[in-house]
Structure 1
Amino acid sequence: MTSAPPVMVLGCGRSGTSIFGELFDGLDRYIYQSEPAFEAVLAADYSTPQAFKVPRESDLHPARPGLSFPLDRFLEVAPRARLFWIVRNPLDAVCSLRVGIAKRWGHHPRPPDWKDWLAEPLIARCAHHWAFLNRAGYAQVEHCATLVRFEEMIADPAQFWARICAALAIDPAANAPHLARWAKRVQNSNNKEFIEAQTSRSYSRPDHRVRVDRWRENLTDEEAAAIWDVVGETAQALGYRAPA
């Protein structure tokens, strides 16, 4: 029997990459690594299913701006790989990016001109980060990646995992306990079922009640408009509309 294909989860930080990636931590026979060194990706045993979330950049394997790794090199070692790019409403993503971007642009990969933006307001820096990754990064993988949405994952996690399992030819019935546990974690607001992804916890701020449309709690109308000035073209290409 052919093993499940390798998986790479990609997207701008604070867009659901971590919780989406953790779907594979226990799914079928996948071995999951969050933000591994790219050398570990190249050295992985592809005779068993492997899943990765956003590998770390490597001086030995330079990447084109927008991705943290050279796509062609990854596909050389994993030609059957399935890539997923998760995207989130830029206004909500900007609110979540603030902690990491405020720490000397702690989210990676950084835009090449990130230092030129350090004097700009924090929300402008976050907006530039979102726009660059979802433009330059996604453009590199668009031909071979499946686009998924944070909002769809939050709205119906069971339907979301069903779509992923179908894409990978994985039997949901054989993974039912794991899928049910994961789905309970995916919540729009904090409650007793919610368990945040491990690598996301240091970036959280207790300043909102919901995850979808959190920007309405965190941003003024003027701030939202300023963000849209930066992200608008890329956001619209990905199916998002300017705030009403």
Structure 2
Amino acid sequence: MTGSRQYPPVMVLGCGRSGTSIFGELFDGLGPYVYESEPPFQDVLDRSETDCWAVKVPRESPGHPVDDGLSFSLDILLATHPAIQLFWIVRHPLDAISSLRIGVDQNWGHHPRPPDWQHWLDRPLVERCAHHWAHINSHGYGRVKSVAKLVYFEDMIRDPYGFALNICSILGLPPEENEAYLRKWAARVQDTNNKQFVEAVTSQGLSRLDHSVRIGRWRENLSSNDIQAAEKITSRIARAFNYDTDWLAD
């Protein structure tokens, strides 16, 4: 809390490699928030409702049911923490697919896995990544849509300071009390690798130096055949998020 004011607990959700890590790290020093990346869901349930905390995409906990596309049960979460603020961050499917390749190629290392992930293991890597993106952003987002605030990776990259101010507004945090911290976080968030860019800690092992930009990296990473394969799996869901899907014409 700042003074005697209470702020809601926060959970950052979304498909892997869609900005969940760097977005989550916004809370690692923002006002009174204490941040943790991917704690077990049971640990989230054990937290105090009156403490000021934020987490990113919790891990499944044994004995707890999960909703399709999520790593936990939304009903159980809301029954325990009714005041929690959920954020869902989405990224252009072709950029996310480009970035998902390392983790999905390593025994489908991104979680939660689609329930049919093993049936996709003999499919091309791009198709596996496309299926992961599509499943999480349809079933997972569909489950939390009514209670989560939707934000976009592209907005965060293009104007990180404005993005951070918007998050403060949603939470009721006074930005003037966090000005220095917000500027410091925003300086990390870059479309290109440069002296200011600082990658999220949990993302560093999943990166490739095979692209010069983060928005539109698919133009450097995916072939026309890759794009056609991904389009069949993701285009309907991409349009639901208002992404232009005329990809092959670009």
Judge same fold: TM > 0.5, yes or no. Answer: yes
Checking the alignment, whether the CA contact within 8 Å between 1:102 and 1:122 is kept in structure 2 is yes
Following TM superposition, the consecutive aligned residue runs of length 4 or more in structure 1 with deviations greater than 4 angstroms are none
What's 1:80 paired with? 83
Deviation readout 1:166-219 (Å, 9 max, x if unpaired): 000001111111111100000000000000000000000110000000000001
How large is the Cα RMSD of the aligned pairs?
0.8
Larger CA deviation: 9-18 vs 71-80 = 71-80
Select 2:116's aligned residue among 113, 116, 120: 113
Match of 2:166 in 1: 163
Q: How does 1:192-203 map to 2 (within 5 A)?
A: 192-203=195-206
TM, length-normalised to structure 2: 0.96
Deviation at 1:45, TM superposition (A): 2.4
SS state at 1:152 partner: helix
| Structure 2 residue 64 is the aligned partner of structure 1 residue 64 | no
Matched with 1:96 is 99
Specify the SS of the correspondent of 1:241.
coil
What TM-score comes out, normalization by structure 1 length?
0.98
In structure 2, distance between residues paired with 1:176 and 1:197: 20
Aligned to 1:40: 43
**In 2: Cα distance, 1:59 partner to 1:44 partner:** 18
Q: Which residue of 1 aligns with 2:187?
A: 184
| Match for residue 17 of structure 2 among 14, 20, 26 | 14
1:25 aligns with 2:28: yes
Partners of 2:32 and 2:64 lie apart in 1 by 28
Q: CA deviation at 1:89?
A: 0.2
Give the share of equivalent positions with the same residue, in percent: 55
Aligned-partner Cα distance in 1 for 2:100–2:220 = 15
Contact 1:29–1:48, Cα closer than 8 Å, also in 2: no
Which structure 1 residue ranges, 5 or more long, are not aligned?
none
- Matched positions, count: 244
Q: Counterpart of 1:124?
A: 127
* Equivalent in the alignment of 2:229: 226
Distance 1:46 1:203 in 2: 33
Distance apart, 1:2 and its partner CA: 3.6
Instruction: Look up the match of 2:151.
Output: 148
Which of 52-61 and 183-192 deviates more?
Answer: 52-61
